[in-house]
A and B are shown apart, each in its own frame.
Chain A
Amino acid sequence: MATQRTHIMVCGGTGCVSSGSLDMVDSFKAKLTEKGYQDEITVIKTGCFGFCGQGPIIKIHPDNVFYVQVGLNDIDEIIDEHIIKGRTVSRLLYKEPETHRPLPKHEDMSFYKKQYRIALRNCGLINPEDINEYIAFGGYEALGMALTEYTPEKVIDIVKASGLRGRGGGGFSTGLKWEYTRKPASDQKYVICNADEGDPGAFMDRSILEGDPHSVIEAMTIAGYAIGASVGVVYIRAEYPLAIKRLEVALDQAREFGLLGKNIFESGFSFDIIIKLGAGAFVCGEETALIHSVEGSRGEPTKKPPFPSIEGYHKKPTSVNNVETLANIPPIITKGAEWFHAIGTEKSKGTKVFALAGKINNVGLVEVPMGTTLREIIYDIGGGIIGGKAFKAVQTGGPSGGVITTADLDTPIDYESLRAIGSMMGSGGMIVMDEDDCMVNIAKFYLDFTQDESCGKCTPCRLGTKRMFEMLEKITEGKGTMEDIEKLRSLGHAIKDSALCGLGQTAPNPVLSTLDYFYDEYLAHIVDKKCPAGACKALAKYKIDPVKCIGCSACARVCPVSCIDGKPKGKYVINEDECISCGACFTACRFDAVIKP
């Protein structure tokens, strides 16, 4: 076998394929063979480079040169100049938007700095069941430094100065939470890790616990040292068996290495962690409800104040921190507050992990600095919408959040900006929706979720979300009235103002946000009795399958409102605006071409 000196990597991701990258693979191969280089140079079709906005993309390996927007006409030049003469074709290099400086190496491009892994740094890189590998990548160094070089106050100062805010959704300063928990005098305090990832569509906490459980253990121990606690509890969903198993293995190894237990690093500080399983209740993500569940009771929230930092688990001061928040702690300690503070926006520091799902090509887990725009996440990293359909909205914040439309795609994401456009950060689920998704139906989906998950303790949430759900059901069945819209609005605001906990207070958000941005769709359901996206079955109309239709005109002849157009032997089409859904065409068609709604 001849030595292969160069690989030409052609992006075979959906975005680049649609702009013709597959033809380029063939063309490269043909031209290389023509010139006799076929044994030395391999052409490889790769997966998505995650830079779909600039496709088709080609990378020359091992020179590490990155060409963008390459066309079939450029192939000769790349072969003649780059491959044969070793000269970079600077015309095709990516140019930095601000300076217009061409950048040959893709690692230098600001785009690739967009995906920066802090919380996920070890996921996919280390064996989660081998503590040695975690240590090899710098693990437990932060704990060692904290225990032997810093006072608890200093640790809190570092976390405060870093600007880290809770990643579970609320966005409260982690350092402040620790400080408030440290202050009160008490014989015992607790650290609780909230791993009750209940937002449907979010899976970053599960991925961290499955891929890097030691980072959570290390961070909880640091938190324990900072606030003066000797016991930690991981409250984890019973639906995550693999995460539970990996965590148990990691806890045993940490104990064996003396990184949990008595007198850690001979500092006099002792700490251990127990696991408590959840049992399927969304409300347990709320910290007071979570504490009741850890105590073995129904997970019903209680009024704040008192905050858990004063009166939490066993009525003792307790700091409840989310998994992703904790995973950020070790690098903050080892690299310093300034390093972390330099990433992100003015008020939101560091990165955020998003679970990108729904109608998107590159479904996946992405970690980007705060301030990245939704457009970059959806189009560049996510590779755009499946099947080239039109983007309609992205839902963030799960059942507590709202929808974001095309108009706000260029908003830099942080806690404040998302709230300003009627959504919220939430835990990081990001569900992308296309033209086939009905926004009223989506709002109904979330309200069905919250009314079912409402714990029932306070009336606004227990009854209010149920009533909202019923109204949405009416609307999707075509039985809604304009009065229902007003009722949804006023009830929504009433629930926001009066519900006991965060679940109830945010439950109306999906409805209020879709009412704001997709009022037309509500109107279409109520006034025209139509579902524009064709998702609400009760409102769906009969359709004719153009492949099966032979143009016999039988349907048009029986239609009582004459809403079927077409010419004999051509294709017939039902005018949905006029269709009264009588079904006469369906019965008349002998070729199964009429599709029942």
Chain B
Amino acid sequence: MPIKSLDELRKIREDQVKKVKLRESGESGDNTVEVLVGMATCGIAAGSREVLNRLVDLIGEKSLDHVKVIQVGCMGYCHSEPTVQINTPGKEPIIYGNVKGDVVDDIVEKHILNNEILDDHVLIKTFNSAL
């Protein structure tokens, strides 16, 4: 299915654009919650693969069909790897750092299921992007 024109490309973009809205501004057409896991070399070395696997397991166990786990690249916060970002519809995205061990379970139990923000792990987005 090769893209043949700029219009076809823009059509694909429109279909995909819902995600853009959730990640940038928290706007969304449905109730999907996105969990982004930083999976660059540094993140993986610090344990992000274990974090991703645990998230997938927990979400499967609890049948949280509205939660999607997505691997992404480096967020730039090397000092606090592994990093995880939660995008909830209608809310500003929250980034967590030093996500290890029980923190993963807490993210699912407290943040995703109960809307409680985890103390001690919140990172602040410190940049703007040319998007």
A141 within 8 A of B: yes
Q: Is the CB of A127 within 8 A of B71?
A: yes
Q: Is the CB of B127 within 8 A of A117?
A: yes
Q: Is the CB of B92 within 8 A of A335?
A: no
Most buried by B among A12, A125, A140, A361: A125
Q: Contact flags (1/0) for A96-117 with B, using CB distance below 8 Å?
A: 0000000000010000110111
B101 within 8 A of A: no
Q: Is the CB of B75 within 8 A of A116?
A: no
Q: Contact flags (1/0) for A105-144 with B, using CB distance below 8 Å?
A: 0010000110111101111111111001101111011001
A387 within 8 A of B: no
A218–B61 Cα gap in the complex (Å)?
40
Residues in B neighbouring A42, C-beta threshold 8 A: 116-117, 119
Residues in A neighbouring B1, C-beta threshold 8 A: 256-258
Q: Contact flags (1/0) for B104-124 with A, using CB distance below 8 Å?
A: 000000000011110111111
Q: Is the CB of A266 within 8 A of B122?
A: no
Residues in A neighbouring B3, C-beta threshold 8 A: 140, 257-259, 265
14 further interface pairs, Cβ-Cβ under 8 Å (given A126-B72, A141-B10): A4-B115, A9-B122, A42-B117, A42-B119, A45-B119, A46-B122, A118-B129, A118-B130, A125-B129, A144-B6, A148-B6, A257-B2, A258-B4, A265-B3
Q: Contact flags (1/0) for B36-62 with A, using CB distance below 8 Å?
A: 101111101000000000000000000
B3 to chain A, nearest CB (A): 5
Q: Which B residues fall within an 8 A CB radius of A?
A: 1-6, 9-10, 12-13, 16-17, 19-20, 23, 36, 38-42, 44, 70-80, 83, 85, 92, 95, 97, 114-117, 119-124, 126-131
Residues in A neighbouring B70, C-beta threshold 8 A: 127, 133
13 A-B pairs within 8 Å (CB atoms) are namely A1-B114, A42-B119, A117-B127, A120-B76, A132-B16, A135-B16, A138-B131, A148-B6, A242-B40, A242-B44, A257-B1, A364-B77, A364-B79
Q: Is the CB of A211 within 8 A of B40?
A: yes
Q: Is the CB of A335 within 8 A of B130?
A: yes
Interface 9-mer from A47-55, A181-189, A428-436, A470-478: A47-55
A22–B70 Cα gap in the complex (Å)?
33
Q: Is the CB of B78 within 8 A of A112?
A: no
Most buried by A among B6, B97, B122, B124: B124
A387 to chain B, nearest CB (A): 14
A170–B55 Cα gap in the complex (Å)?
44
A363 within 8 A of B: yes
A540 within 8 A of B: no
A62–B117 Cα gap in the complex (Å)?
13
Q: Is the CB of A50 within 8 A of B74?
A: no
Question: Quick one: which of A298-357 are within 8 Å of B by CB?
Answer: 331, 335, 357
Residues in B neighbouring A362, C-beta threshold 8 A: 77, 79
B116 to chain A, nearest CB (A): 8
A359 within 8 A of B: no
A141–B70 Cα gap in the complex (Å)?
23
Q: Is the CB of B92 within 8 A of A62?
A: yes
Q: Is the CB of B41 within 8 A of A240?
A: yes
A365–B80 Cα gap in the complex (Å)?
12
* Minimal Cβ-Cβ distance residue in B for A368: B127
A210 within 8 A of B: yes
A331–B97 Cα gap in the complex (Å)?
29
B12 to chain A, nearest CB (A): 5
* Minimal Cβ-Cβ distance residue in A for B91: A62
Residues in A neighbouring B79, C-beta threshold 8 A: 48, 361-364
Quick one: which of A112, A124, A366 contacts B38, CB cutoff 8 A?
A: A124
A144–B11 Cα gap in the complex (Å)?
13
* Minimal Cβ-Cβ distance residue in B for A116: B128
A50–B119 Cα gap in the complex (Å)?
18
A528 to chain B, nearest CB (A): 37
Q: Is the CB of A266 within 8 A of B78?
A: no
A361–B79 Cα gap in the complex (Å)?
7
B10 to chain A, nearest CB (A): 8
A112–B19 Cα gap in the complex (Å)?
25
A126–B24 Cα gap in the complex (Å)?
11
Quick one: which of B38, B42, B80, B117 contacts A44, CB cutoff 8 A?
A: B117
Residues in A neighbouring B120, C-beta threshold 8 A: 12, 45
A313 to chain B, nearest CB (A): 28
B112 to chain A, nearest CB (A): 14
Known: A135-B12, A366-B76. A59 touches B124 (CB 8 A): yes
A108 to chain B, nearest CB (A): 11
A4–B127 Cα gap in the complex (Å)?
27
Known: A123-B73, A145-B6, A259-B3. A107 touches B36 (CB 8 A): no
A37 to chain B, nearest CB (A): 16
Q: Contact flags (1/0) for A56-75 with B, using CB distance below 8 Å?
A: 00010110000000000000
Quick one: which of A112, A121, A122, A123 contacts B126, CB cutoff 8 A?
A: A112
